[in-house]
Amino acid sequence: PSGSIKLLAPGKGGAGGALIPVKQDTSNQQSDSSGLGSDITLPKVTVEADSAYDPEYYADPYNKDYVIPNATAGTKTDTPIMETPLNVQVISKQVLKDQQVINLDQALKNVSGVTVSNGASVGGARGGLDQSFFLRGFESQTFFRNGFRLQQGAASKGMANVESVEVLKGSAAGLYGLVDPGGMVNVITKQPLATPYYGFSQQFGSYDLYRTTIDATGPITKNKDLLYRMNMSYQNNGSFREYVGKEDVFFAPVLKWVISPKTQATFELEYNHQHLGLDNAFVPLANGNGTRLNTPRSRNYGEYSPGTVETIYGGFNWSHQFNDDWAIKHSFSVNQRNDIQSHFVLPTKADNVNVSRFQFSGQTQNNIYSTNLDLTGHFDTAGLHHTLLLGGDYYRLDRSTDYRYGLSNPTTFDFDFSTINVKNPRHPGTPFTFPLQPVQQLANQTDQYGLYIQDQIKLPYNIQVMGGIRYQYLHLNNREQLAQTSDRRTDDAVTPRVGFLWQPKSWISLYANYVESFGPNEPDTILLGNTLPPPTSAEQYEGGIKTEFFGGRLRATLAYYDLTKTNIATPHPDITLANEGFSVVTGAMRSRGPELDIIGEILPGWDVIATYTNIDARVTKTNNTDFQPVGSRFWNVPRNNGSLWSTYEVQDGDFRGFKFGGGVTLRDGQTVCCDIPAFKIPGYATVDLLAAYSLDVGKTKVTAQLNINNLLDKHYFTGGKTNLGSNQLYADFGQPRTFMGSINIQY
């Protein structure tokens, strides 16, 4: 008989697999008419690779692929990356496992043009809570979770339930609204599976790090119409920096209801509680010329500064497939984040004898309400195939901040200082005299409404065109409670996005795109007079080439972009005003340069990631030439960035299951805020190593792994901010040599 069957084929190097069509050739098949004892001729079986993307295969916990062929961030239509006229990179779960990633910033070093700052670029006064991404040179303190914007530092995102990380380079404002033009980071979380799976991992590392994770999923009902997944983790660690550490509790249950073969609904909850010893990130300078004093990198010139971060996320989405061509999806989410710095001692100036410190406390609360409705359809007109997306979204952010400082004179904003010796600090230093005084109490509301349409058209000769347009309405309301002042802004805009792609062969694509974006500055950004800054706008031109080799197991992307952003708010150059929370609008900045990303499998068991970018990011227009003159480079954006990571797992023989590998990360020197001439921190290179062994014990897979990061113990900074007049450098300290071991059990 004709037809096809499904064969469960093993995944790469593991027990998992994908459903692959298998066709039976019955042309030479003969029936057995002689009964028992006769030879039986089995039908010839031909296994064919299914070119269609199978999400079940890539969701398999045992899947070891570095390359994921599809991504949702670029188009929302789950288009293959090779057919997307945008630069999209995906970091798979196997990469996260191999590198033992426990923080989001560790994952992003695998993508060109992305760097991370832990908050020193804004003065150190938040102790790492304001972790920022720099994508194509532009800073952002937000990321996305399954397509929903989260207004929180990436340092507070738990990684136990992360399936993969998507990075879309260039603006995604056409579909998501409030997105910085450099790009977006979209975290894809683990979803319930119909096949039971249980995972347990115990990690232990340098500076008293202990981390336990649990992953469990499977059906609740016999007919598998109700599925669950539960991810949990507990982490406790110290630091190479004095008085710094973290205790982290995380759990994320998910419930999926398969109402019918065409309709399903998913309920999600995520809770994360962190108790932190915050880092003031201060390095004393001498003589007013930027010379660093010879002090150990472990030294903390503050005191123990406790902080608490609590994040609660709730989400619901449902989808319905009308037929093979049309589908609808609706999503709703609520996200609350509350962080408290109850007592933070922040060094602010130094000389060759003493460091002066002042007290700070802060509380920030974000409440986010988001909803999104998408209708997707496939149809043909005049011989052309269309993939149409119609959608609308609403985003509401309620944000409140309460900052307090130790002041001897609140009227003139004179700090109440405590001093401590530079070379031989004796804690807690001289006592403070005055209590904390409220300095800034802001209440912000941001409302965004958006409507968008996108059409992806397949033309003859393997040409594809993407066109989209978005209408966006913004309403901002800012109130300063202490000064009893308020300001409102209402803006709207229509922004286009167009792309072109030619795929002459299945393994090569040439693409180009033009994108515009529009949106507000960060939500608590205020100018002198407690007024709101004007909205930012940006435009980008990009072109590139994508290639795939070895049946799609290895992918490379080479791109060149030219991106300009206007009305950029940055910390006020006056350190006192910056500490009060004021910013300035610097005019326009331009970033351009080439990017290269290579990821995938070269030979069975041999995986590689290679990245490089050259970012020419400069100020092109300014209203404050003493602060950031025209032609000066962006702060905290190294010109040259690169990385290489490679692993090999023995496929057979006595050493089967052994894996080893390593990599190197390179960063150029970079200028930092806020002095003229600009202060520059040096470049660096770090080396990482990996060794692991996996063993199957019945149905259980056990993996022992060891990672060594910064093998050569390089002393480096990843970002910073200076005030040479006060001999101060707030610096993002790079991790010294660290060891991370783990035992992982999968069943």
Q: Mean pLDDT in runs of 10 for the chain (747 residues)? A: 39 41 40 42 41 77 95 91 96 98 92 81 51 85 86 74 95 86 94 97 97 98 97 96 93 98 97 90 75 86 90 96 97 94 81 88 93 97 96 95 91 89 91 90 92 97 96 91 85 94 97 90 70 84 97 96 88 68 81 98 97 95 75 90 97 96 95 74 95 95 98 91 76 91 97
Distance CA 262, CA 538 (A): 40
Confirm if 178 and 149 have CB atoms less than 8 A apart.
yes
Confirm if 302 and 282 have CB atoms less than 8 A apart.
yes
The predicted structure's pLDDT at residue 40:
43
Distance CA 66, CA 91 (A): 7
Distance CA 54, CA 23 (A): 18
Confirm if 171 and 124 have CB atoms less than 8 A apart.
no
Cα Rg of the chain, angstroms: 27
Distance CA 342, CA 353 (A): 29
Retrieve residue 570's tokens: 């940055």
In the three-class reduction of DSSP (H, G, I as helix; E, B as strand; rest coil), residue 348 is classed as: strand
The predicted structure's pLDDT at residue 287:
65
The predicted structure's pLDDT at residue 129:
59
Neighbours of 681 (CB within 10 A): 23
Distance CA 68, CA 53 (A): 9
Retrieve residue 254's tokens: 């998910």
The predicted structure's pLDDT at residue 568:
79
Distance CA 487, CA 720 (A): 31
CA 215, chain centre distance (Å):
21
CA 475, chain centre distance (Å):
27
Retrieve residue 591's tokens: 């970033």
Domains of the chain: 4-47 (no CATH), 55-746 (2.40.170.20)
Distance CA 273, CA 543 (A): 43
Cα torsion 60, 598, 135, 472 to 10°: value is: -60
Identify the residue whose tokens are 């992307």.
557
